Amino acid sequence: MKIGVDGRKIPGAENRTPLEILDHAQSLGMEGVYFRTVLDITPTLDRGLLRELREHADRLGLYLQMGLGKVNPYAAAESPEIRRLGDGDYTSGMLKMLEACSEGADCHELWVACGSYKSDLPGYYAIDRFRTDAPWPDQLQAIEKLLGLLAPAVRDLDCHLNIETHEEITSWEVVRLVESVGPDVTGITFDTANVLVRGEHPVAAARRIAPYVRATHLRDSILVPTQDGLARIFSPCGLGIIDWTELLGALMEHTPDLDASIEPAGTTLAVPIGLHDAYWRSLHPDLVDDEVAALLRLADEYAARAAQGDVPTVEEFRATPYDGEDFIRRSASHLRSTLAELEAAPEDAKVGG
């Protein structure tokens, strides 16, 4: 398992060219870069630049991944650049991006997502799952239909559209989409922190989706008790509530050579998880009480460790100035030490063994 980084969120990305981002990632000890979309590299889908990027990544010994965009037609208006690529047709724009990734950059594991988090909106309405104009089941049906429209071209180009476990969608729903559209053309990008926002235990979610995981966004989180349940705050891997031995073990059981991309998080925004809110729970029909109880225990266990001085309190953590490079290095160090322990363990002692 190689450890890399999200190319959009690596510190200084906005002031570097894609080639310079690769160089910067290598200087931080990273083994690959995951560009969120091909448009982050070239808004015009310049095949020459994409080939140059691939060649440079190969020279540096880095894995190279990238993606397309949102596959939720209800969110298409938030990505007008994709519609413009298709001369007014969003699907056509997505197909052009797909071809550029495959034929220009020789990238076949492609990120897609079903929504976006709107940090400027209050409470639950920051998440597309809670739209009242477009009930979430309607959005899921539209997502499945668009994935089906893209599937023939994805299959012809030997690609996978890897749906992120983003804030708006549960792991159960992502699995159903993959199994409905077909695991030959779809997979999962596992964001380890986002499943928390849907009330899911991260290790339980990893075990549910592991057979289909083809890419990752790795970061940890601190969970804070609230009146309605919990709130999530991003943290470097190893500093939060995730058991990385269990989680990575579950993934490696199915895909030992999975590329693992750290997603630095430059915010301490607390995202609500309404575990005790009847309305919130009504929109999560798959969630079971045992998993909710396990998640609440993780929050209690972190608070106990903080009281003993083993980890920072929430207040101490949020008061510490953000350092993106430190976030990456700390995460990479913890992930690599965990992987080394997993690889050194006897076969009968390994997670899932």
Q: pTM, whole model, 2 decimals?
A: 0.95
Q: Does 70 reside within a domain? A: yes
pLDDT for the residue numbered 353:
47
Q: Does 278 reside within a domain? A: no
d(CA 243, CA 79): 36
d(CA 215, CA 319): 32
Q: Does 119 reside within a domain? A: yes
Secondary structure, 3-state, 57-93: HHHHCCEEEEEEEECCHHHHHHCHHHHHHCCCCHHHH
* CATH code (residue 88): 3.20.20.150
Q: Are 170 and 222 in contact (CB under 8 A)?
A: no
pLDDT for the residue numbered 269:
87
Q: Does 238 reside within a domain? A: yes
In sequence order, what E strands does the chain have?
Answer: 3-6, 32-34, 63-70, 109-113, 160-164, 186-191, 213-217, 220-226, 229-235, 260-262, 271-273
Helices 244-254 & 324-344, crossing angle to 10 degrees?
70
pLDDT for the residue numbered 350:
58
pLDDT digits (tens, 9 = 90+) for 265-286: 878 889 999 999 999 999 999 9
Domains held by the chain: number:
1
pLDDT digits (tens, 9 = 90+) for 61-97: 999 999 999 999 999 999 999 999 999 999 999 999 9
DSSP state of 15: G
Q: Does 313 reside within a domain? A: no
Q: What percent of the chain has pLDDT over 70?
A: 98
Q: Does 306 reside within a domain? A: no
Q: Does 349 reside within a domain? A: no
Note down the domain range covering 167. 3-220+234-265+323-341
One digit per residue, pLDDT tens: the chain, 353 residues?
999 999 999 999 999 999 999 999 999 999 999 999 999 999 999 999 999 999 999 999 999 999 999 999 999 999 999 999 999 999 999 999 999 999 999 999 999 999 999 989 988 999 999 999 999 999 999 999 999 999 999 999 999 999 999 999 999 999 999 999 999 999 999 999 999 999 999 999 999 999 999 999 999 999 999 999 999 999 999 999 999 999 999 999 999 999 999 999 878 889 999 999 999 999 999 999 999 999 999 999 999 999 999 999 999 999 999 999 999 999 999 999 999 999 998 766 555 54
Query: Which tokens is 195 given?
Result: 């499943």
Q: Does 298 reside within a domain? A: no
pLDDT for the residue numbered 276:
97
